[in-house]
């Protein structure tokens, strides 16, 4: 299997030499300078590729092989008036990427918010810190900080009671930090953490859109996109919802095996694939992640190998990012499935994987500038663990 690493570009505190030292040889990157709905010019793709692949003398070569992500704009997801034009823009960006030889594109259809966490530096027993989603803190933000219209109907009485208690204990600075944390996963080049009114408006734009309607909108998008992807020899990989359940009253359509099966049935193109994120899928206790890996193995074109632990032995909605081999899902069983599938494939389509959401530890604890979940040392540790497991299995 192909060892990859997410790199945020020239401003990433983790350098390309750091990636080499971690042992990865492939890069997962995106042009974050372009907002959702903007076309990626081929020249900008070529510039990023040259930066990654221009190898200094004596260094290990790196290749940019996976794009993560080309954002899918709101109009596409909610079936707005700009959907047709935005789909064409997305295809233009895909053509620019393919023209530079990059054949795997990861994307997601999480409306408004991308991955969502309430804590970006949750203390671990080792002294490291981790990303965490605390459902009561999230509910406190939704109900009492964001004050989203109709939010109360999304929570049961015990949750509302606990959320009120959390909210009453928040100082102004703690409420601002919670807002910043939840906003950290907002996609694209812009953030709405300083403007809760704009955040509410974007959420409200999805009011009344049921999951089936959004699924139909995404299927219509894929019906336009996948024939071009096939022509370009590109594979599309849909990342799961994170967390894999409704939040902010927004529709979610990539949380379960049934969700993915519905999209694969609607658009059976071989270009329509899954980014198999073990941590995202594993943070929902009713997902049998190993069974999903087996069922969808032929459509796994990219893998995020990370792990989560759900509170109360799987009885909660809250979860914390764990060490890569120590989550609720048996990572070794997932790797067995991926190794078996990988052996069936020719070199160009062997499965790239990357470590994900590593703990903040060692020297990275002292650094003031990091990308949450994407510190160098935590992911280096995760990749080393995964590499050792794979070596044994292979």
What are the residue numbers of the active site?
239, 277, 304, 356-357, 374
**Surface-to-core class of residue 177, CB atoms within 10 Å of its CB (0-12 exposed, 13-18 middle, 19+ buried):** middle
Which ranges constitute the DSSP H helices of the chain? Answer: 16-22, 42-53, 74-78, 83-99, 135-140, 157-168, 172-183, 196-204, 211-232, 257-266, 278-282, 289-295, 311-314, 331-342, 376-393
- Beta strands 129-133 and 119-123 are antiparallel
Contact 373, 11 (CB under 8 A): no
Contact 59, 20 (CB under 8 A): yes
What is the spatial distance between Cα 225 and Cα 97, in angstroms, rounded to a whole number? 14
- How many other C-beta atoms lie within 10 A of the C-beta of residue 59? 11
What is the spatial distance between Cα 111 and Cα 118, in angstroms, rounded to a whole number? 18
Element (H or E) spanning 256, and its range?
A: none
What is the spatial distance between Cα 115 and Cα 239, in angstroms, rounded to a whole number? 10
Cα Rg, the chain, nearest whole Å: 20
Element (H or E) spanning 308, and its range?
A: strand 307-310
What is the spatial distance between Cα 236 and Cα 275, in angstroms, rounded to a whole number? 8
């Amino acid at each position: 299997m192909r060892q990859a690493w997410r790199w945020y570009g020239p401003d990433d505190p983790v350098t390309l030499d750091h990636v080499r030292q971690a042992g990865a040889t492939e890069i997962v990157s995106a042009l974050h300078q372009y907002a959702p709905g903007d076309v990626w010019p081929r020249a900008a793709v070529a510039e990023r590729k040259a930066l990654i692949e221009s190898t200094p003398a004596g260094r290990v070569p790196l290749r940019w092989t996976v794009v993560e992500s080309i954002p899918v704009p709101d109009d596409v997801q909610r079936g707005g008036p700009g959907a047709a034009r935005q789909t064409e823009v997305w295809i233009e960006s895909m053509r620019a990427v393919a023209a530079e030889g990059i054949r795997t594109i990861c994307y997601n259809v999480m409306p408004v918010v991308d991955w969502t966490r309430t804590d970006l530096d949750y203390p671990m027993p080792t002294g490291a810190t981790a990303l965490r989603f605390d459902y009561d803190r999230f509910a406190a933000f939704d109900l009492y900080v964001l004050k989203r219209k109709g939010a109360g109907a999304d929570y049961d009485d015990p949750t509302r009671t606990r959320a009120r208690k959390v909210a009453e204990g928040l100082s102004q600075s703690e409420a601002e930090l919670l807002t910043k944390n939840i906003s950290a996963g907002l996609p694209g080049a812009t953030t709405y953490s300083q403007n809760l009114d704009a955040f509410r408006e974007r959420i409200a734009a999805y009011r009344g859109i049921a999951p089936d309607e959004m699924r139909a909108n995404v299927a219509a998008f894929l019906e336009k996109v996948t024939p071009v992807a096939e022509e370009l020899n590109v594979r599309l990989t849909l990342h799961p919802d994170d967390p894999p359940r409704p939040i902010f009253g927004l529709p979610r359509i990539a949380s379960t095996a049934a969700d993915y099966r519905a999209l694969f049935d609607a658009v059976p193109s071989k270009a329509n694939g899954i980014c198999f994120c073990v941590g995202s899928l594993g943070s929902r206790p009713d997902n049998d992640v190993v069974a999903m890996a087996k069922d969808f193995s032929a459509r796994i074109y990219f893998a995020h190998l990370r792990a989560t632990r759900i509170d109360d032995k799987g009885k909660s909605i809250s979860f914390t990012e764990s060490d890569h081999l120590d989550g609720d899902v048996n990572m070794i069983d997932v790797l067995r499935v991926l190794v078996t599938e990988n052996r069936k494939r020719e070199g160009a389509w062997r499965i790239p994987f990357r470590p994900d959401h590593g703990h903040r530890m060692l020297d990275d604890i002292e650094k003031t500038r990091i990308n949450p979940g994407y510190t160098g040392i935590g992911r280096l540790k995760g990749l080393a663990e995964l590499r050792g497991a794979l070596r044994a299995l292979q």
